[in-house]
Amino acid sequence: MAVGIIYATGSKAIRRIIVPDVDSALTDGTHKVSSGETMLVSSGASDLASCMAAVQQATGQVSPYPRCVVIDQANKVIDYAMADPALDTHPLGALVMVSVDGIAVGATFDPLTRMFTNPLGQVFRNAVIGSTDIIVG
């Protein structure tokens, strides 16, 4: 059975994985693809990791893990979200896509160095995915 992989056209981050009852549901307009998104139909993918690999194979670009932290106006991490900052917003702050799991709620983000420091002092360098400017507050 085929699955539909909806990914962000720009970042290649997975947005949704559609597992239809019948394959024709992937092409009959049942599942809408929004602006900034692309659908890839795959018969070999079913979980997030295999869908990321399918997008990478189809596009030649790495599909990043779509994990973001939410940063408030005080540059503190206040939440997590599965999102793409180029397409999504969060009502409580700025979304920043990150490449590591260890950034804790309460961590401080330095927008100049693009580094995070956890409350116990652990520093995360090169954790931000993407090259766009991050505007907080």
Would you state the structure tokens that stand for residue 27, as one six-digit string?
A: 């092409």
> Are both 13 and 42 inside the same structural domain?
yes
At residue 74, the pLDDT reads 94
Q: Which residues pair with 8 in a beta bridge?
A: 37
Are 127 and 134 contacting, i.e. CB atoms less than 8 angstroms apart?
no
> Are both 12 and 55 inside the same structural domain?
yes
Residue of 136 and 102 predicted with greater confidence: 102
Residue 25 has pLDDT above 90, yes or no: no
> Are both 117 and 75 inside the same structural domain?
yes
pTM higher than 0.85: no
Would you state the structure tokens that stand for residue 28, as one six-digit string?
A: 């009959």
Last residue of a domain, one of 59, 84, 101: 59
> Are both 38 and 72 inside the same structural domain?
no
Mean pLDDT of 24-32: 82
CB atoms under 10 Å from CB of 51, counted, come to: 23
Residue 69 has pLDDT above 80, yes or no: yes
Q: Which residues pair with 51 in a beta bridge?
A: none
Q: Which residues, 6+ apart, have CB-to-CB distance to 24 below 8 Å?
A: none
> Are both 54 and 73 inside the same structural domain?
no
Whether 133 maps to a domain, the answer reads no
Whether 106 maps to a domain, the answer reads yes
Q: Categorize the per-residue pLDDT at 133 as very low, low, confident or very high, splitting at 50, 70 and 90.
A: low
Residue 107 has pLDDT above 60, yes or no: yes
**Sheet containing 14-18: which strands, arranged edge to edge?**
14-18, 3-8, 37-42
pLDDT tens figures, 31-55: 889 999 999 999 988 899 999 999 9
Are 92 and 70 contacting, i.e. CB atoms less than 8 angstroms apart?
yes
Residue 134 has pLDDT above 80, yes or no: no
Mean pLDDT of 96-122: 89
Total structural domains in the chain? 2
Range of the domain at 54: 3-59
Whether 87 maps to a domain, the answer reads yes
